[in-house]
Amino acid sequence: MADDFKFGTPLTHDMISKFNASIQPQRMIAESIAAEQDCMMRQVVQEVGEQGYQNRKRIQEAMERTAHNTDVTNERLEKMIDQQSSYIELLEKANETLQKQLETGQKRLEILQDIFASGEDGVLVEKELMNLIKKEIDETHPLWEYIKDKGGDIAEAGATAGFPVLYGAFKAYLQSKGIMLP
């Protein structure tokens, strides 16, 4: 067949048929290889596509889990913050109450210090104590009759006679609690 084809010789229909017949097996092999490569390429593309899809799916699921976990964590943090805020408010109120109690206690201590450290004689202190007691009780109290008349009658004389003892005992009691009076 190589002799049939020479350069410069015109191709006849016979020659073309012979040429086609001689290359037909090679063409079939080439087409078979091309088809096999095409099939393999489709298979590789499909596998790569499937892997890509699975990867995207796993990434999407991971992102959704992360978002859910973040939401749950945020809700828990909000609850904790609310609870801490309530606790702080409670502590602030307790602190305010204690501060008011401390201020009241300090005022009372100042009054007691003024009474006992004033250098006034016992009668003035006794009268002041009687006035304070009178403000604290009403006419149903058993001491009312004893305290009501501060004009110097027998009831007051009896109470006044007992006040120095009460005064000394009260002063000793305060000193035993750490309140030192002059």
pTM check: above 0.85: no
pLDDT for res 151: 41
Tens digit of each residue's pLDDT (9 = 90 or more) over 68-125:
999 999 999 999 999 999 999 999 999 999 999 888 878 777 776 666 665 555 666 6
Kindly report the number of other CB atoms within 10 A of residue 126's CB atom.
Answer: 20
pLDDT for residue 154: 42
**Which string of DSSP letters, residue by residue, matches the chain?**
-TTT--TTSPP-HHHHHHHHHHHHHHHHHHHHHHHHHHHHHHHHHHHHHHHHHHHHHHHHHHHHHHHHHHHHHHHHHHHHHHHHHHHHHHHHHHHHHHHHHHHHHHHHHHHHHHHHHS---HHHHHHHHHHHHHHH--TTSTTHHHHS--SSSHHHHHHHHHHHHHHHHHHHHHHHTT----
Q: Does position 155 have pLDDT exceeding 60, yes or no?
A: no
Query: Is the pLDDT higher at 28 or at 118?
Result: 28
What local confidence, expressed as pLDDT, does residue 56 receive?
93
Q: What is the mean pLDDT of the chain?
A: 76
